[in-house]
Structure 1
């Protein structure tokens, strides 16, 4: 990347521009490259934020791979960030300069049930993302950063942590102490689910293809560990661990290759939260089993600004620290994407702005 594009105000000769990253089309996909954008100014109900850090999600890879609709070439990517308020719109009274804030994933989904109209407000998709020096956000979309977290940790919360939070606490059957929870993998959503589950007093089973990652999950407090490469029929192992009862909560992240096994080891009255498609396609499971179990299937698409507020209060109560695997600099953004795509990460990948 060209270093002069990362001058704090764009180029040395033009202080109306700022550094950012934009998506450039190469082949069938989009590649993050150094770019410039005009320095934004907040409207009457908006806030200007100086970005401290952003974090990557699997969605960002799907966008780069051309498997996520509605994203134009030239878009500034990423949805998750944390920073400091620099300027306020004329009608904003709930925030002050210097406040530490983070925006919700869907800027327009403030509370209540999800509506189709909220979809385009997700940053980094159909609307501009946050991988820039400064961004403008609606004041209503912002949530304060917990005092005990730095900006890099806070930048991991709006998507992955809220997804796990909504799946476990905001839907039909909230997680309770004594439940058994199954999480697939050791990425951002999975590890937040592990941490939230442990704080709630649940027994957590973790699936991974890496013994080293499973040992790290054990050190965090995981109750059950299964290497699904060594134990292909991991649903049978889950039933063995739970003495035939199955698990009350499953965060289904795999898609077609895992969904039926999740159903096989779900407890009576249990709940599957459908979140991810890591295997690349939708499942065609035996939904008759879901009925026989009197169980629930919940589709989870991140969450609202209110969900992020609820999450922050819970994190503060339990002093939960997000797990960050690696921190990259803004001029290392391509390496950050590649590292996430490699699957080597344990927890979140952060880009420091």
Structure 2
């Protein structure tokens, strides 16, 4: 079978087409999935570029979607012909995240979905939203579920609330779509007026170009009459956290998701305490949360925004495109 493997050392130049053994037929409780799509996340970029340690020869990509080709004895949730999508933490079914969850993340701790077919336990996958293609479904595993958890699991966004999103990557665009579907007001930031215009088309209520307004936390307070937002979907990390805390209302929630602007740095702890803020780190979510998200997507007719498609063989080029930050929404890999 065709696949892509991480090289040694792990760089985009050593991320090359390779082969893998066919996984064969499913055993009891397993399904065989013909994978037809994956999508890029920053976590995947960190793996293939050597930012995160991983084994040489690892098959990358945490997101995978495709069609069930065969099922083993005892499988009850799927049948041949069903479209399915992977879960980020295969063994996190429900409840609190397991302590060792990251050791089993596909494309990181174990082989992922940059391959033509896999045989896995049925609970490693869920159904896809009705009407979704495999390419659309492949955007949900990481980005979609991260946005869902930030807004509706770790918080309880409701009509009339105000949400701040940062940028126009997959998590941010999903958060915009989901927050608007919940009746919230959304303030969006970006360094690109062109991308801000696209965010406006998707429903963003107020726009801030953070290159023109570096102190955008104060601008958010101004836009909210001095109150601040109920929730910030924080993808920047250490480099933007202070502005996010400034932008948040007293008692508000900062969903700390990304590290795009830095892994570590000083934090204004006095501001955090004075505002009684809840700054909560999160890493994707459970299988039960993914199924709840799928119901929410179906109820509101949400469709992912796909910026670009790349064939599997050109996965390294897809990551190079991601690194330019020229995309809007999700980048999909066609397998």
TM-score by length of 1: 0.92
Partner of 2:211: 229
> What is the root-mean-square deviation in Å for CA atoms of aligned residues?
1.3
Partner of 1:7: none
Mapped to 2, the partners of 1:331 and 1:290 lie a distance apart of: 46
Mapped to 1, the partners of 2:102 and 2:74 lie a distance apart of: 25
Does 2:134 correspond to 1:151? Answer: yes
Task: Give the superposition deviation at 1:287.
Answer: 2.4
Asked whether the equivalents of residues 59 and 111 of structure 2 are also in contact (C-alpha less than 8 Å), the reply is yes
Task: Give the superposition deviation at 1:27.
Answer: 6.9
Does 2:187 correspond to 1:169? Answer: no
Task: Give the superposition deviation at 1:138.
Answer: 1.5
Asked whether the equivalents of residues 39 and 61 of structure 2 are also in contact (C-alpha less than 8 Å), the reply is yes
Does 2:52 correspond to 1:68? Answer: yes
Asked whether the equivalents of residues 273 and 297 of structure 1 are also in contact (C-alpha less than 8 Å), the reply is yes
Mapped to 2, the partners of 1:31 and 1:183 lie a distance apart of: 34
Q: Specify which of 224, 234, 238 is matched with residue 220 of structure 2.
A: 238
Task: Give the superposition deviation at 1:28.
Answer: 6.5
Pick closer, same or farther for the CA change 1:164–1:297 going to 2, 3 Å: same
Q: Specify which of 66, 81, 89 is matched with residue 64 of structure 2.
A: 81
Pick closer, same or farther for the CA change 1:154–1:85 going to 2, 3 Å: same
Mapped to 2, the partners of 1:21 and 1:320 lie a distance apart of: 31
Task: Give the superposition deviation at 1:137.
Answer: 2.1
Asked whether the equivalents of residues 211 and 227 of structure 1 are also in contact (C-alpha less than 8 Å), the reply is yes
Does 2:114 correspond to 1:125? Answer: no
Task: Give the superposition deviation at 1:146.
Answer: 1.3
Pick closer, same or farther for the CA change 1:302–1:199 going to 2, 3 Å: same
Asked whether the equivalents of residues 9 and 50 of structure 2 are also in contact (C-alpha less than 8 Å), the reply is no
SS at 2:316's partner residue?
helix
Partner of 1:19: 2
Mapped to 1, the partners of 2:289 and 2:96 lie a distance apart of: 11
SS at 2:14's partner residue?
strand
Pick closer, same or farther for the CA change 1:304–1:30 going to 2, 3 Å: farther
Task: Give the superposition deviation at 1:331.
Answer: 2.0
**Number of residue equivalences:** 334
Pick closer, same or farther for the CA change 1:268–1:27 going to 2, 3 Å: closer
Task: Give the superposition deviation at 1:273.
Answer: 0.5
Name stretches of at least 5 consecutive residues in structure 1 with no aligned partner. Answer: 1-17
SS at 2:67's partner residue?
strand
SS at 1:24's partner residue?
coil
Name stretches of at least 5 consecutive residues in structure 2 with no aligned partner. Answer: none
TM-score by length of 2: 0.97
Partner of 1:185: 167
SS at 1:137's partner residue?
strand
Q: Specify which of 123, 129, 140 is matched with residue 140 of structure 1.
A: 123
Alignment of 1:194-209 (within 5 A): 194-209=176-191
Mapped to 2, the partners of 1:30 and 1:287 lie a distance apart of: 41
Task: Give the superposition deviation at 1:29.
Answer: 6.9
Q: Specify which of 28, 35, 53 is matched with residue 37 of structure 2.
A: 53
Task: Give the superposition deviation at 1:46.
Answer: 1.5
Mapped to 2, the partners of 1:165 and 1:123 lie a distance apart of: 20
Task: Give the superposition deviation at 1:238.
Answer: 0.7
